[in-house]
């Protein structure tokens, strides 16, 4: 259907020409470049279809809101859309005054969806994703367990080394019940040295 009108609506005569006057010639697409666009557009309000993509071009016809027009394409570099009727170029409308009509979706040729088998997996993708997460968590826990085991082994080794060192030190200490083999005395002071000198002099005098 090239031109569809809402029920009870009819094409209005061009506002810029008399009703009995011939429609202005439409600029052919051979000299106006078009790019691909929606196959059909719908008038959002009462709009003018013009002979060229310009607001100063003559009005071919005025269409009411809701009119659906076939569109061979969009004017390159201009905000205008070409419209057609019965497979032939009909005119141009401003792009901001129409909305694209989506193409009808052909009915699906596929048969009815096969129901899942009883006991079968539902949402395989989700199940696989959850399983992947569980595997990642298990790997992380395994790594943590390995680190903890190494830390415990190092701590045990440190405690054993410290215990052996303390035992060695304790074995070298003298028994408190036995007399010490070597008695350590503090070094003599100047007074002790002076007293010793005086005693020596007295002994020599007496001895003489």
The tens place of each residue's pLDDT in the chain, 208 residues long, gives 444 444 434 344 444 334 344 455 555 555 788 888 888 899 999 999 998 998 899 999 999 999 898 888 888 888 999 998 887 888 999 998 999 988 776 666 655 666 655 555 555 556 678 888 888 888 888 887 777 788 888 888 887 888 888 888 877 776 666 655 555 567 778 788 888 888 888 887 876 5
pLDDT at residue 166, as a whole number:
81
Closest CA to 63 of 45, 79, 80: 45
Residue 111 within a domain: no
65 located within any domain? yes
Query: What is the number of domains present in the chain?
Result: 1
The closest alpha carbon to 98, from 38, 26, 32, 10, belongs to 38
Structural domain includes residue 152: no
Range of 26's domain?
Answer: 3-101
Looking at residue 93, its pLDDT comes to 93
Residue 177 lies in a domain: no
Asked if the structure places residue 81 within a domain, the reply is yes
Reduced to 3 states (helix: H, G, I; strand: E, B; else coil), residue 73 is strand
Q: Which tokens belong to 33?
A: 């470049």
> Is 184 a domain residue?
no
Whether residue 189 lies inside any domain: the answer is: no
**CATH code for the domain of 78:** 2.30.30.40
Cα Dmax for the chain: 172
Question: Which structure tokens are listed for 158?
Answer: 């440190």
């Amino acid at each position: 259907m090239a031109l569809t009108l809402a029920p009870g609506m009819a094409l209005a005569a061009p506002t810029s020409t008399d009703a009995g006057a011939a429609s202005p010639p439409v600029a052919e697409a051979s000299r106006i470049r078009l790019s691909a666009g929606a196959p059909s557009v719908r008038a959002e309000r009462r709009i003018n279809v013009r002979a060229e993509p310009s607001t100063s071009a003559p009005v071919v016809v005025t269409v009411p809101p809701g009119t659906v027009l076939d569109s061979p394409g969009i004017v390159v570099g201009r905000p205008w859309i070409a419209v057609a009727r019965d497979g032939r170029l009909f005119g141009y409308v401003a792009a901001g005054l129409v909305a694209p009509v989506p193409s009808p979706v052909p009915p699906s040729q596929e048969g009815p969806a096969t129901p899942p088998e009883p006991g079968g997996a539902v949402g395989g993708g989700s199940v696989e994703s959850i399983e992947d997460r569980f595997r990642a968590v298990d790997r992380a826990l395994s790594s943590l367990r390995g680190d903890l085991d190494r830390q415990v082994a190092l701590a045990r080794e440190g405690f054993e080394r410290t215990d052996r060192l303390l035992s060695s030190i304790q074995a070298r200490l003298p028994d408190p019940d036995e007399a010490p083999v070597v008695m350590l005395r503090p070094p003599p002071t100047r007074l002790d040295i002076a007293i010793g000198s005086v005693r020596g002099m007295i002994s020599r005098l007496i001895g003489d």
